[in-house]
Amino acid sequence: MILRCPLAGWSSSLDEAPDPVFAGRMLGDGVLVDPTGHELFAPCDGEIISVAPSKHAVSIRSTEGVEVLMHVGIDTVALDGAGFELHVAAGERVSAGTKLLTFDLDFLARNAKSVATPIIVTNTERFEIISAQLDRDLLVGDALIELRAKSLAQDETRGAGERCGATIRVDHEHGIHARPAALIANAAKKLSAQVEISAQGKTANAASAIALMSLGVRAGDDVVITVTGANARKALEAIKGVIRGLEPHEQVSAVAKVPAKPVPTGDPNRVRGVIASRGVAIGSAFHLRRSELSVPERGTSVASERSEFERARNAVKSRLEALAASSHHQARQVIEAHLELVDDPELLAAANEHIEAGRSAGFGWRSAIRTSADTLKSLSDARMAERIDDLLDLEHQVLAALLGEEAAHAIEIPDQSILIAADLQPSQFIALDKSKLVAICLANGGPTSHVAILAAAIGVPMLVALGDRIHDARDQQSIIVDADAGFVLLDPNDEQLASTSARLTARREEMERVRLAAQRECRTADGVRIEVFANLGSLADAKFAVEQGAEGCGLLRTEFLFLDRERAPDEGEQLRCYQDIAAALDSRPLVIRTLDIGGDKPIPYLPLPREENPALGLRGVRTSLWRPDLLRTQLRAILRVQPQGQCRILLPMITELAETRSVVKLIDELRAELSIANRPQIGIMIETPASAVLADQLAREVDFLSIGTNDLTQYALAMDRGHAELAPRIDGLHPAVLRLIAMTCEAASKHERLVAVCGGLASDPAAVSVLLGLGVGELSVVPAMIPQIKQLVAELAIEECRALSERVLLLESAEAVRSAVAERSRHSQRSISHDTKAKWG
Ligand code: PEP
Ligand code: MG
């Protein structure tokens, strides 16, 4: 038996349904269709067995007896019929291809949690799915699901025995719709007695969710439960319990407004996370653990080992103090514990005893730590495990300081590694051999963290906020990271590996084609010039970006040059570095951002004052004005880059004009020192709500504005950009952030200033049309995304972008904005590609 596709759209596994009832197969098995059309047709000949009172779902029984539920959208019951027009009624006989329902896809995209439409075979006890057409663009009438009948071995004992019943009121806000029906049916299936529920003069087998839905029970209706068979009384209580337990006011509308935390799906192999850098990878799991550093047993002389030991401990102490000052409460507590241990008298005495006996400082320190760790272990107290970890961590830090920078940071990874860690520091990322790295999976972390930025720059797919389940992956096990869809497959089968590998090959070919096309100047389809620049952190990034078609650099994050070393680079070293990058860009514009440290970018050799909340403390330009010596050196280096005029200067974390004026004054003084006649172009970052609100004042005095959506989102939504729990909600397409961007663009256009976006939102394909519509003229993106973003811009018409952005500014959540954008692009693709006329074979 074949079920035909009842609506045009993209088919995918039911696992993708953003609802645990569907994804968990509680209503039966089937396929999810992401609609591109707005009409639903019968998938087979049969009889309509139920239409939801709120018109969003229709069920049909085929002539062979297959029962199919078509549920348009997720949580659409809450719309109470709005956006739907029914063309059939329950009891009607229809043939395949009869139009059942028309729906307003735009309206659903804006108002429902999702438009994804589950097509479910509900009586899977009688029919099994042999195959389904997944991951393809289907037209109405294409084959969708192939089924066969199961042999019917009925449980004869069901229905025999005592009989009892009860009447109960259904309080649930939407009555017995899909989700309550699934819960009741699930419970009834587990009972050995037979349960029937009657209402509105009809009776349904409670084990059938479809039958229950077709009763049309609404909130406040009474239903009669009748139970026959073994343990009937107990069964009756169980079903009453389920009906009573249905939440009276389901929280669907609230959920719909909040980008949901990834829903755990039925597949135990699939771990959902938040996308930090897009892409797909197959590789072998590799957990990042502390590497064992080797130390010699014999020391050189007692005096030199002692002084080396002191030097190493002091280096670790100042690094920890700097880190503590810029860390959050919990992290700070851990660091403070380490600080105590590094001075612990018992540990020091034990280590010094070894040194006095002619052993090396490293050997002495390791022996002292291991003896203490063994003592703690012997206590078999679970709470001590953490202290043991602290000790071993500290052992590593002091040994690394003794052995030197390289040994400290060298992280050996096997070929084709998918790196798994709780968290990752930018310095650890920098130390990795990228040629062996195919993806990164973090249990914690946020999508706009600095490691995420570094990974995206070189196109390494990365997922964050995966939770502890990601640690279930075994080392060397082949796993799949789908950082386009946001999940990891921990134990993929051969078919999944083969299809992902085919996808990767096709993707590489397509990327190469798009990369070649990206060498042209970027314009929209209607000819508006949009600059597509690159965000850079190194010379290697610059070379790669030019190959990808970068038209300039819109953000050089100079702080990356200051990380992973023992002292700040001097003017000469900075000049060489900027000059090399300018040369690699071959006369394309180079926007150099002055040092943006503090917050989540601490620098070990620059201890900042201890702060309760570093994200709201000395950051960006504030740090520069607090340490003008560093700023002076950096500005002199930038001003000296040749040819003059290629470099522009960008100031981070501006909140008011006074900050800008102080830096401009310093630039003018330095120009006089260096005899440079022309002031370079100076821009400011809009990454605090204050600067967006005051953009009209700021725009008057600078040459350009560059919006840092990573921080702007963090500060507008009051959500830490590194917060794993909030990660799914830290979305720059939130209407509050978009309104700040709109304000900035409006103010800039009054003064005829260019607005760039250099935060992560510019690299998000879903955001591009909205940003252009708001008036953004330059997108500075991660180098690996340049070809794709250029291609996307070339397909957009500016007037349509404007209409879209006006519309999304009025929406209520980032999720609603994303749905509206997705719907808009589906419409455009539809008009480009094919018409979706029904075809019946
Ligand atoms: C931003 O905040 O969006 C930005 C570009 O700066 P960074 O990510 O380096 O803080
Ligand atoms: Mg920023």
pLDDT tens-digit series, residues 694-749: 999 999 999 999 999 999 999 999 998 878 778 889 999 999 999 999 999 999 99
Asked if the model's pLDDT at residue 808 lies above 50, the reply is yes
| Confidence at residue 462, expressed as pLDDT on a 0 to 100 scale | 95
> Can you give the pLDDT at residue 579?
97
Q: Is the pTM of this model over 0.75?
A: no
Give pLDDT tens digits for 372-386: 888 877 765 555 555
- Does residue 416 have a pLDDT over 60? yes
- H/E stretch holding 555 reads strand 553-557
Residues 260-270, mean pLDDT to the nearest whole number: 53
The Cα 395–Cα 301 span in angstroms is 22
Please tell me the distance from the alpha carbon of residue 302 to that of residue 392, in angstroms, as a whole number. 25
Spatial contact of 45 and 65, defined as CB atoms under 8 Å apart: no
How much is the pLDDT for 840?
A: 32
DSSP string spanning 255-286?
HHHSPPPPPP-S-TTEEE-EEEE--EEEEEEE
Please state the separation of Cα 795 from the chain's center in Å: 25
708 Cβ closer than 6 Å to some ligand 1 atom: yes
* Cβ of residue 559 lying under 6 Å from some atom of ligand 1: no
Answer whether 687 contacts ligand 1 (Cβ < 6 A).
Answer: yes
Q: What's the pLDDT score for residue 251? A: 30
CA dihedral 429, 431, 435, 438 (to 10 degrees): -30
Q: At 805, is the pLDDT very low, low, confident or very high (cuts 50, 70, 90)?
A: very high
| Res 779 pLDDT > 60 | yes
450 classed as catalytic: yes
Question: Quick check: bond before 43 cis, omega within 30?
Answer: no
Q: Which of 42, 124, 43, 150 is nearest to 88 (CA)?
A: 42
Amino acid at position 580, single letter: D
Per-position DSSP letters for 338-368, written without gaps between them: HHHHHT-HHHHHHHHHHHHTTB-HHHHHHHH
Tens of pLDDT along 488-540?
Answer: 999 999 999 999 999 899 888 888 888 888 889 999 999 999 999 999 998 98
Specify the pLDDT at position 547.
94
Residue 157: pLDDT band by 50, 70, 90 thresholds? very low
Query: For residue 837, what pLDDT band results from cuts at 50, 70 and 90?
Result: very low
Residue 423's pLDDT is: 81
Which pLDDT score is estimated for 624?
92
Query: Which range is least confidently modeled, 62-66, 116-120, 442-446, 710-714?
Result: 442-446
Q: How big is the chain by its Cα radius of gyration, in Å?
A: 31
Residue 786: the pLDDT is: 95
Least confident of 73-82, 242-251, 446-455: 242-251
- CA dist 684 and 657 (Å) reads 10
Take residue 202 and report the two structure tokens written for it. Answer: 């009809």
Expressed in angstroms and rounded, the spacing between residue 687 Cα and the centre of ligand 2 is 6
Give 82 Cα–ligand 1 centroid separation in angstroms.
41
Among 322-326, 549-553, 587-591, the range scoring the smallest mean pLDDT is 322-326
For residue 33, what are the β-bridge partners? 11, 117
Q: CA–CA separation, 84 vs 631, rounded Å? A: 61
Exactly one of 522, 553, 577, 758 is catalytic; name it: 758
| Cβ contact 185:206 at 8 Å | yes
What's the pLDDT tens digit per position in 615-673?
Answer: 898 889 999 999 999 999 999 999 999 999 999 999 999 999 999 999 999 999 999 99
- State the DSSP string of 40-98: EE-SSSEEEEEE-TTSSEEEEEETT--EEEEE-SBSGGGGTTTTEEE---TT-EE-TT-
Q: From CA 12, how far away is CA 588, in angstroms rounded?
A: 43
Q: 401 pLDDT exceeds 90?
A: no
pLDDT digits (tens, 9 = 90+) for 665-675: 999 999 999 99
Do 411 and 431 contact (CB within 8 A), yes or no?
yes
Whose atoms come closest to the Cα of 654: which ligand?
2
- The residue among 404, 310, 291, 405 whose CA lies nearest residue 361 is 310
Q: Ligand 1 pocket, 596 CB below 6 A?
A: yes
Between the CA of 667 and the centroid of ligand 1 the distance, in Å, is 23
The pLDDT of residue 247 is 55
**pLDDT for 754 beyond 60:** yes
Q: Average of pLDDT values for 440-455? A: 83
CA of 760 from ligand 1 middle (Å) equals 8
Choose the residue to mutate in 560, 563, 593, 685 for probing ligand 1, maximizing ligand atoms within 8 Å of C-beta. Answer: 685
pLDDT at 582 over 80: yes
Q: Is the dihedral of CA 336, 339, 343, 345 positive or negative?
A: positive
Question: What is the per-residue pLDDT across 54-91, written as a single tens digit (0 to 9) for each?
Answer: 899 999 999 999 999 999 998 888 888 889 999 999 88
Percent of the chain scoring above 70 in pLDDT: 89
What is the spatial distance between Cα 821 and Cα 811, in angstroms, rounded to a whole number? 12
Give the atom of ligand 1 at the shortest distance from the alpha carbon of 709. 3
Question: Do residues 139 and 127 lie in contact, with contact meaning Cβ atoms separated by under 8 Å?
Answer: no
What is the pLDDT, as a whole number, of residue 327? Answer: 55
Averaged over 340-354, what is the pLDDT? 89
Taking CA atoms only, the protein residue closest to ligand 1 atom 10 is 711
pLDDT tier for residue 249 given thresholds of 50, 70 and 90: very low
**Average pLDDT over every residue of 203-210:** 82
Average pLDDT of 136-154?
80
Question: Which amino acid is it at 489?
Answer: L
Question: What confidence score (pLDDT) does residue 836 get?
Answer: 30
600 in contact with ligand 1, CB cutoff 6 A: no
pLDDT over 80 (residue 154): no
Check: CB of residue 694 under 8 Å from CB of residue 656.
Answer: yes
Is the C-beta atom of 598 inside 6 A of ligand 1?
no
Asked if 731 and 814 count as a contact pair (C-beta separation under 8 A), the reply is: yes
Q: Which ligand has an atom closest to residue 756 CA?
A: 1
Dihedral angle sign, alpha carbons of residues 165, 167, 168, 170: positive
Q: Which residue is catalytic, options 71, 174, 450, 734?
A: 450
Provide the pLDDT for residue 250: 34
pLDDT band (50, 70, 90) for residue 261: very low
The per-residue pLDDT for 600 is 63
Provide the residue type at 435 as one letter.
Answer: S
For residues 809 and 807, what is the distance between their CA atoms, to the nearest angstrom? Answer: 6
Single-letter amino acid code for the residue at 637: A
Residue 832 Cα to ligand 2 midpoint, Å, equals: 38
Check if 713 has its Cβ closer than 6 Å to any atom of ligand 1: no
| In the block, residue with structure tokens 């909030």 | 726
Across the chain, what does the average pLDDT equal?
Answer: 86
What pLDDT sits at residue 275?
87
What ligand 1 atom has the least distance to the C-alpha of 599?
A: 10
Residue 306 has pLDDT above 80, yes or no: yes
623 and 597 in contact (C-beta within 8 Å)? yes
pLDDT reading at 252 higher than 70: no
What ligand 1 atom has the least distance to the C-alpha of 711? 2
* pLDDT band at residue 258 using 50, 70 and 90 as cut-offs: very low
- Hey, whose CA ends up nearest to atom 6 of ligand 1? 708
Distance of alpha carbon 398 from alpha carbon 319, whole angstroms = 11
